[in-house]
Amino acid sequence: QERIGQYGERFTFLKFRTMYINNDPKVHQEYINKFILEQKSYDTNEKKGNKDEVFKIKDDPRVTFVGKFLRKTSLDELPQFLNVLKGEMSIVGPRPPVPYEVKIYDIWHKRRLMEVKPGITGLWQTKGRSSTTFDEMVRLDIRYIIGWSVWLDIKIILLTPWVVLTGKGAY
């Protein structure tokens, strides 16, 4: 899948396939538009701030049975270590967006793309994951960028397995 990395450079994002082959890409594009432009969850009409609100497509019919397991355990992310070895990503950093997502960013959202390489895990994945609005996710990414230190990366790396094992925010 094509993603946008540091300085707006495009790269091939590696991930195990978790969806059926013939899918309508507009489903994800509509979700992204609603998530970014309206700051709304995908499958609820609940008021913003509801603690149960989910900002990811839950029970996505496009995902295979095995794909659900891979996503829930984050095993679908393993091929991204090859992106790290190729120098396109780092272990810790903001998630790399798809090109159509960047087209609807506000100017301040783009800061998360310029400062650091995208990562496999990050502050957003360990603090909010699928329970934050898009603006909250970007704020966490910017907080990571501003407060970056080796210690912060170590803390995020150590927290990530706990988040994966508990399945917090994984769908």
- Whether the full predicted model's pTM is greater than 0.85, yes or no, is no
Q: Is the dihedral of CA 70, 43, 126, 29 positive or negative?
A: positive
Contact 90, 119 (CB under 8 A): yes
* 3-state SS class at 62: coil
Write out pLDDT tens, residues 8-49. 999 999 999 998 888 877 888 888 888 888 775 544 444 445
Could you state, in order of their start, the residue ranges of all structural domains in the chain?
Answer: 2-166
Q: Is 3 exposed, middle or buried (0-12, 13-18, 19+ CB in 10 A)?
A: buried
